[in-house]
Amino acid sequence: MDNLENVLKRCEEINLVLNREKCHFMVKKGLVLGHRISRKDFAYISKPLNQLLQKEIPFIFDQNCVKTFEVIKEKLLSALIIITLNWSKPFIVMSDASDYAIGIALGQKRNNIFGAIHYASKTLNPT
């Protein structure tokens, strides 16, 4: 809540007008430009758990699934820092793909260090 208060104060200081209908606070997940917000590499990491949801595959929550669950839990609990975009700086798009997942990170360099603006990942269907 402290961060929210600081953000709203800053918006007020610079006369930024927020559209109440487009603002969502205190949510656990959301959509940005039609894309689900997700952690980097989530689709790749979560593959063992996603496979349990497929038809005609026995549900066996083995040690690999437990390990995957623990990794996902740790990643969701760790701080993800998203920077605000700067239209005057060039954008950097980093992508990665495998046979079953794709992911991207959109960002910019700040003080010669990459800062993420948005992450996205998608699990691919076998067909």
The predicted-structure confidence for 63-109, as pLDDT tens digits, reads as follows 999 998 888 777 766 656 788 889 999 999 988 888 878 888 899 99
127 or 88, higher pLDDT: 88
The pLDDT value recorded for residue 90 is: 92
Question: pLDDT digits over 30-66, tens only?
Answer: 555 444 555 567 777 888 888 888 888 888 899 999 9
Q: Which residues pair with 54 in a beta bridge?
A: none
Q: What would the two tokens of residue 110 be?
A: 């700040």
The answer to whether 98 touches 44, Cβ cutoff 8 Å, is yes
pTM flag (> 0.85): no
In angstroms and rounded to an integer, the radius of gyration of the C-alpha atoms of the chain is 18
Cα atoms in the 13 Å half-sphere on the side-chain side of 79: 2
- What letter represents residue 21's amino acid? E
Within 10 angstroms of residue 120's Cβ, the number of other Cβ atoms is 19
